[in-house]
Amino acid sequence: MEFSAKQIAEYIQGTIVGDENATVHTFAKIEEGIPGALSFLSNPKYTHFIYETQSSIVLVNKDFTPEHEVKATLIKVENAYESLAKLMTLYEMSKPKKTGIDPLASISPSAKIGQNVYIGPFACIEDGAEIGDNTYIHPQVTVGAHAQVGENSILYPQVTVYHDCRVGNNCIIHAGAVIGADGFGFAPSPEGYEKIPQIGITIIEDNVEIGANTCVDRATMGATVVHKGAKLDNLIQLAHNVEVGSHTVMASQVGVAGSAKIGEWCMFGGQVGVAGHIKVGDHVNVGAQSGIPGNTKSGSTLMGYPAIEPKLFARSSAIFKKLPEMYTELNRLQKEIEELKKQLNK
């Protein structure tokens, strides 16, 4: 499909600078632009590419003023990145969608399947499971007994939703993610470790996106909950009875131990570790590879292990690099002090 600059500007409420009849049919990074592509510029580091890009149309922020001639047609908007996201969503929605149940899918007679649902080959929908309207179940997905998947959701290949767990509306769960595996619960005994049955469930609320190979364990009792609008990257582990607040985002390899409560609108960098049975407040930002061992106040920004204020962490890191030299100097000073003591005693 082709769209003109005029059509795009009307949709995103932008102002055209250049040819309003310029058309595009694909997207490209500004440094890799080709004729017929739409690009965007929001990071000043990439400004020099706008003077040489081959893209036909470029989205820019309203305050952008070119210093040289620009061949591409510009569309000025309040926020180029947000406008690009809107256009890409429109582009994705315009793609044809599969519907219907593949004959190779296995669906229990007691399962409830909504309207306009697609279920791919080798998917398995077990007894009493429910699939909402317009939901897309890719090949080799398993939805366990009495589990529920809401409307307009997408489960990519090899996603597993264990028995009794619930996935809300407008959710996206990427390949290999596991929703509702047993929590890591064992009681030590003289013979080894005795498994504690995990009889709770996992609840994924509406508008949640979960990355590939991420695991959200079921609760020992009650529910592990990921609240509405949360976004989890690939390879994240949420242990049993964890609660993640609405609109919180977590980058790859974050690990949250059992019964930890994470607030709303938090942002966790990659490989952040959160101790169990603690509470992290709302609007907490945590730098990559940080460790959170205890309760954290709302509005905090933290970095390091254990996580502390970023400025303090930076100063501590600077000192840490000098520790070998400081240790050598300390030993030298101790020897001098001992020598002085001996002389004073004489």
- Residue linked to tokens 């077990």: 126
Rounded Cα distance between 335 and 196, Å, is 58
Whether 240 is catalytic is: yes
CA torsion, ordered 37, 234, 139, 168, to nearest 10 deg: -100
Neighbouring-strand partners of residue 280: 262, 296
Q: How many CB atoms lie within 10 A of CB 253?
A: 18
**CB–CB of 159/120 below 8 Å?**
no
240, 247, 277, 283: the catalytic one is 240
Beta bridge partners of 138: none
Phi, psi of 305 (to 5 degrees): -135, 115
For 14, counting Cβ atoms within 10 Å of its Cβ (0-12 exposed, 13-18 middle, 19+ buried), the class is: buried
- Nearest 5 degrees, angle CA 299-CA 242-CA 180? 145
Contact criterion met (CB below 8 Å) for 261 and 278: yes
As annotated, the active-site residues are 240
